[in-house]
Structure 1
Amino acid sequence: MNEKINYPPLKPVPLLSSCLDCRLSELCLPFGLNADEVKQLVSIVKNKRPIPADAVLFWQGDDCQSLYAVKSGSFRTFITNADGSEQTLGFYLPGELMGLDALQHGRFSSSATALETAVVCELPLAHLNKLCAAIPGLQNQLMRILGKEIASDHDKIVLLGHRSARERVATFLLMLSRRYDALGLSSTEFNLSMRRQDIANFLGLTIETVSRQLAELSREGVITIKQRGVQINDPAMLKAIVEPCMAQPLSHSA
């Protein structure tokens, strides 16, 4: 059962382990800021203890006091329906910002749970709003991140709209490939930190269908399955499966 972790009072992130030397800074809020502006951002960032796998960072309906940037690990966001069932909305990798769905009403409209041991940087919203007013570059970067989130939602609509199971699974793998590439990691060999049932729930398929499609792609030599890892052997073939069902290039978010 998912459990929300209660943390002791937060402390500022030590300067040397923060935005100034973080390898993810070009993907996150510091992008485009000068050194003095980054230092101002660092002054409001809080860090949490490592979040264990399956622990909940925030619950649907919680008041939003902060946004969260993934520093390491990965997360799944989901909503809980009236009948108690869960619908997976997406997956977040390092450098990506969680909690943007709460900006409209001040409450999280989804829950976020760690898929593996993870670390986040907490950005208290009150301080962040003041900084955005003082630093135009920070506000611009936040707008770009919001735009990326909207583009990701568009991709999901296309992904789930009248597409075959094969196209959905191939598109999902290609989305992850591009996101890992943006992190400076291998775009052809990576781990699937999410469970098969989470992938199936996200894609609107059954676990059996997802497993069957992965097995078929593996038999065709397009990919190789290594326990929870995937190696893309034929990126061109994967793109050929995806391209007929995508009118625009995929954004690297899922």
Structure 2
Amino acid sequence: MLNQTTASHTTVRRSNRTLPNAPRTSARCSVCALRHLCMPQGLSRDDLPKLEALICSARSVRRGEALYRVGDAFDNLYVARSGSLKTAMAHRDGREQVTSLRLAGDPLGLDGISTGFHTSSAVALEDSSVCLIPYSALKYLCRETGAMQDRLHRLMSEELIRESFQMMVLGSLSADERVASFLLDVSERNGQRGYSHAEFNLRMTREDVGSYLGVTLETVSRTLSRFQKRGLIDAQGKLIRIIDIEGLRHL
């Protein structure tokens, strides 16, 4: 279901610079509130300036705009600095399959390392910003700094774990369990970023959530309504308030 043909990698030669005129600002890892999520552990004081020089800028991505699309040439890795984005792949019939929700501190673009072209698209769900990490320069820094190389390996491993978990969700959980697992995941990730784990704005549309979880939009809406009637959550549009987190965990 999620396979992407390789033809697009050989016939499409777009650049991944989707937003050439997007505003850019300097990126300073040493003062970033999200450094505990994306900076490598064990990085020495001497290596920090090298990392800050590598991450040369941050770029804004407006709601609905693509950071990169399927088939774009791979030049950079990215880290979401603010806001949120979704990644998606395309079925052969053109339908979109949402593959992940990226929050501030999450990496993007790892899919391009294998072939030199992106196999998915990344689209902003709200006005967001990302840090740019030129991959060629990152490889050089990894050869110089063991902590940076370890961090890149960890990112790749975390991607494998995330994808394996998502396969388990799609393959073995009921619709109620899938929606509950998704809400708990967003809750936990918000908590890691210093935000409320009990109340958050879900920037994904119901349709996007359904695509990500392998259910219909109607199923997502009915499930959230059922959770609300049972006193597990309070859902007002995009605002989700988790009332009974243990109840969600035991579905």
Residue of structure 1 equivalent to 2:214: 204
Q: After TM superposition, give the deviation of residue 48 of structure 1 in Å.
A: 4.3
2:186 to 176, 197, 205: 176
* Contact residue 222 and residue 238 of structure 1 kept, 8 A: yes
- Runs of 4+ aligned structure 1 residues displaced above 6 Å come to none
SS in 2 for 1:36: coil
CA offsets 1:123-154 (integer angstroms, 9 cap, x no match): 00010000011010011111112111111111
**What is the aligned-residue identity percentage?**
35
SS in 2 for 1:50: strand
Q: After TM superposition, give the deviation of residue 198 of structure 1 in Å.
A: 0.4
Write the letter of the residue equivalent to 1:206. T
* Contact residue 7 and residue 48 of structure 1 kept, 8 A: no
Larger mean Cα displacement after TM superposition, 27-36 or 140-149 = 27-36
Residue of structure 2 equivalent to 1:148: 158
CA offsets 1:7-54 (integer angstroms, 9 cap, x no match): 24997x53xx51011011111034431232121011011334421100
Cα distance in 1 between the residues matched to 2:139 and 2:21: 24
Structure 1: 5+ residue runs without aligned partners? 242-254
Write the letter of the residue equivalent to 2:102. Y
Residue of structure 1 equivalent to 2:235: 225
Q: After TM superposition, give the deviation of residue 6 of structure 1 in Å.
A: 2.9
SS in 2 for 1:197: helix
Cα distance in 1 between the residues matched to 2:222 and 2:104: 29
Aligned CA-pair RMSD? 1.7
Residue of structure 2 equivalent to 1:6: 19
* Contact residue 61 and residue 128 of structure 2 kept, 8 A: yes
1:137 to 147, 156, 161: 147
SS in 1 for 2:101: strand
Cα distance in 2 between the residues matched to 1:226 and 1:18: 37
Residue of structure 1 equivalent to 2:74: 64
Residue of structure 1 equivalent to 2:38: 28
Structure-1-length-normalised TM-score = 0.88
* Contact residue 59 and residue 131 of structure 2 kept, 8 A: no
Residue of structure 2 equivalent to 1:116: 126
Write the letter of the residue equivalent to 2:176. R
CA offsets 1:175-218 (integer angstroms, 9 cap, x no match): 11111111121111111011111001111111111000000001
Cα distance in 2 between the residues matched to 1:30 and 1:7: 29
Residue of structure 2 equivalent to 1:83: 93
Cα distance in 2 between the residues matched to 1:173 and 1:90: 13
| Number of equivalences | 235
Structure-2-length-normalised TM-score = 0.89
